[in-house]
Amino acid sequence: MTAAPLIDIAPIERATMKDRVVVQFDKRDVEELKLIKLDLLGLGMLAAIDETLQLIEHDCATCVVLDSLPEEISEVFGMLQAADTVGVFQVESRAQMQTLPKSRPMSLDDLVVEVAIIRPGPIQGNAVHPYLRRKQGLEPVTYLHPSLEPVLRDSMGVILYQEQVMRIAIEVAGFSPAESDGFRRAMGTWRSTREMEKLHERFHDGCMRQPGMTEEIAEELFRQVSAFASFGFAKSHAAAFARTAYESSFLKLFYPAQFLVGLINAQPMGFYPVEVLVNDAKRHGVAVLPVDLNTSSYKTTTEWIGQPGWALAGAAGDDGSFDDETLHPGESLPEGCGIDARPRPVRATSCVVPSAAARERWSAESATGWGVRLGLHLVKGIGEQHAELLDRELEHGPYVSLADVVERTGLPEETIERLIRTGALDSLGRPRRELLWQLREVAGATKGRMDGRTTRLGGRSPAAGRPMDLRLPATAAPQLPAISESERLGDAYAVVGLDAKRQVIALFRDALDRLGAVPNSALADRKSGPVRIGGLVVTRQHPMTAKGTVFLALEDETGMVNVTLWPDTWARLRSVVRRHALLLVDGELQRESSVVNVIAHEVRALTTVAERAGGPESPAGVRQLGHAGMRRLG
């Protein structure tokens, strides 16, 4: 922020983004020059939550004010303790899912710690495992020195927050407040050996003035503090993130369909691809509907899929909403009666937490009440430039034929082919192979007329101001074989990146059963020991703090499991893991409390092994997951 034009204060250059400029100073230059610098953090989760709240108000006649949300909703913390956190802000990662069942947060304060602890600082400072053991009552809370107790009491004797580093420098090592802030910053990203030696000496000498301090304790304390450095959260930062994590957990638990829509439309964000979010929502009872050109908007939306026989008894309240107790099975309301017969699960108030009775019934109804209709934005080749046209045409009525689609959308031939392959034109009532045949005929017959008469969008000539007349050629399509399930699934993954009907591993389940592979959902009931699993790699991590260990999240049609590859295993199998997203893993199942991991010993390409075991031949769309999936994972 400057009082004069920025160009008079700092060197600037044009950015690659239109109408943007970049300041050539870095952040440390700005601080040294005493200029005002504000860090604005863009969080996709805030956009997802905002859309979720709008959908709740529209779909459920419910105004949820998150600022008034009670802070101790037991069901929310139960979900967090079970690590049921796919899509939840800040606590959905592999590491968080491993710690949540052990830390068992029961309050917002506990959640602040959970957010702060999975950071490079606490990890490098060896704070994570001592904290978890102490939280579970497996070891007593201890302090390196009595002078640390006032500073570290709230975090059970371990360093979690930047403020604690500064307080240790002040209260234990005798730094002034200004020196402590310089101490924190000096141990940040840009360290120099000379500067660290000075800090070490100053810190050590200050600590040794404390009664009962020893050389060993002073050295260990400096090691912990220097390992933490600036790679941890300030407590205020962790508290703000924890509140957002709590709010997103509430929305996932009580409004799963609306929350899923918010997450999908806010992509890219978070830890998992859309496919994982969709599969998780389906396991929680949300009906997810495929892309359909006659139903889908450009963006993903909620869709009332209804429950046969539901009707509303009584009149609406003054605010236009219905109490959940007015719902009952009954005859359909007469058409044109002016009453919206969609269920209103909870009554509109300043902040709504459904009653226990409403929650029990609503959870049973959610799968057949509000569903999620995937949007056209998920189809490869359809972008923002198509959004306005497609949404406008949807308002003008359904498409009745392939020629109607070609004329009204003006989409390129290859994009319409993708729509056919993914099933987005199934509502036209013709088999997909027949539609593909017709598309070639239409494209060949109309290419001359389309050249020069149409824009890329709209199917209309700006000069003529009238729609083209595209008619299907009279040639009938030959008898074509129906598309197989493996081809259908492969096309869905190739075009949309997921299939609303089935997860890809379901295609291989019979072969996996013959190979002795265990579904992921069954691992929770197995004892530790040898195990074989198969799945789709949805995340791959190689963190610097793990000293060469690689972590995979492997998903099948029943759930996800964490797979660990020790450095020697990774060195031996890295080419397979990098090239293929569908894997068959032989390893050791390890259980710790309710946390399950698989330590990999051997990893093979699932498609190859399954075909040898008599499984289906993998269609191109599935085989390409080994390449597209790995590009996504990096």
Instruction: Return the minimum-mean-pLDDT range out of 135-144, 227-236, 512-521, 612-621.
Output: 612-621
Question: Distance from CA of residue 531 to its chain's centroid?
Answer: 28
**pLDDT mean over 297-312:** 70
CB contact set of 281 (below 8 Å; sequence gap of 6+): 256, 257, 260, 288, 372
**pLDDT mean over 376-391:** 86
CA distance 186 to 230: 9
Residue 216 backbone phi and psi in degrees, to 5: -65, -45
Long-range contacts of 564-571 (CB under 8 A, 24+ apart): 564/597, 564/598, 564/599, 564/600, 565/600, 565/603, 566/599, 569/600, 569/601
Q: What is the pLDDT of residues 236-260, one digit of tens each?
A: 889 999 999 999 999 998 889 999 9
Instruction: Name the average pLDDT for the chain.
Output: 79
More confident site: 319 or 528:
528
CA distance 363 to 284: 9
Instruction: Specify whether the CB–CB gap between 331 and 337 falls below 8 A.
Output: no
Distances (CA, A) of 284 to 32, 38, 242, 277, 367: 52, 40, 23, 11, 8
At residue 475, the pLDDT reads 58
**pLDDT mean over 16-22:** 85
Q: Which residues pair with 302 in a beta bridge?
A: 372
Alpha helical stretches, state H, 366-507: 384-395, 402-409, 413-421, 432-450, 485-495
Gyration radius (Cα) of the chain, Å? 29
Place of tokens 């691992």: 523
Q: Both tokens of residue 405?
A: 């689609």
Distances (CA, A) of 539 to 94, 133, 254, 450, 556: 9, 27, 27, 44, 13
Residue 204 backbone phi and psi in degrees, to 5: -60, -45
Instruction: Specify whether the CB–CB gap between 365 and 295 falls below 8 A.
Output: no
The total number of residues shown for the chain amounts to 634
Report DSSP letters for 308-341, one per residue: TTEEE-S---TTS---GGGEEE-PPPPTTSS---
**pLDDT mean over 525-540:** 90
At residue 335, the pLDDT reads 41
Instruction: Specify whether the CB–CB gap between 487 and 619 falls below 8 A.
Output: yes
Place of tokens 């597209």: 628
At residue 250, the pLDDT reads 92
- Of the candidates 203, 185, 186, the one whose C-alpha atom is nearest the C-alpha of residue 195 is 186
Instruction: Specify whether the CB–CB gap between 153 and 134 falls below 8 A.
Output: no
Q: What is the pLDDT of residues 480-523, one digit of tens each?
A: 788 888 888 888 988 998 889 888 898 889 888 988 999 998 88
pLDDT higher than 50, residue 317: no
Domains of the chain (ranges, CATH numbers): 61-237 (no CATH), 255-373 (no CATH), 397-486 (no CATH), 504-633 (2.40.50.140)
Query: Above pLDDT 90, what percent of the chain?
Result: 27
Q: Which residues pair with 591 in a beta bridge?
A: 596
Number of C-beta neighbours around residue 233 at 10 A: 23
H or E element in which residue 603 lies = strand 595-605
At residue 280, the pLDDT reads 92
pLDDT higher than 80, residue 571: yes
At residue 626, the pLDDT reads 44
pLDDT higher than 80, residue 68: yes
pLDDT higher than 50, residue 634: no
Q: Which of the four pLDDT bands, split at 50, 70 and 90, describes residue 62?
A: confident
Instruction: Specify whether the CB–CB gap between 158 and 232 falls below 8 A.
Output: no
Instruction: Specify whether the CB–CB gap between 366 and 285 falls below 8 A.
Output: yes
Q: Both tokens of residue 390?
A: 């497609």
At residue 336, the pLDDT reads 38
At residue 26, the pLDDT reads 81
At residue 304, the pLDDT reads 84
Sign of CA dihedral 501, 608, 537, 97: positive
CB contact set of 311 (below 8 Å; sequence gap of 6+): 328, 329, 330, 331, 332, 333, 341
**pLDDT mean over 529-537:** 92
Place of tokens 């009440």: 369
Instruction: Specify whether the CB–CB gap between 229 and 269 falls below 8 A.
Output: no
Q: Which of the four pLDDT bands, split at 50, 70 and 90, describes residue 89?
A: very high
Q: What is the pLDDT of residues 139-188, one digit of tens each?
A: 999 999 999 999 999 899 998 888 888 898 899 988 888 888 777 777 66
Instruction: Specify whether the CB–CB gap between 495 and 489 falls below 8 A.
Output: no
- Mapped onto helix, strand or coil, the DSSP state of residue 605 is strand
pLDDT higher than 60, residue 16: yes
More confident site: 164 or 472:
164
Number of C-beta neighbours around residue 549 at 10 A: 15
Instruction: Specify whether the CB–CB gap between 260 and 374 falls below 8 A.
Output: no
Instruction: Specify whether the CB–CB gap between 606 and 477 falls below 8 A.
Output: no
pLDDT higher than 50, residue 396: yes
Q: Which residues pair with 532 in a beta bridge?
A: 586
At residue 291, the pLDDT reads 93
Q: Which of the four pLDDT bands, split at 50, 70 and 90, describes residue 566?
A: very high
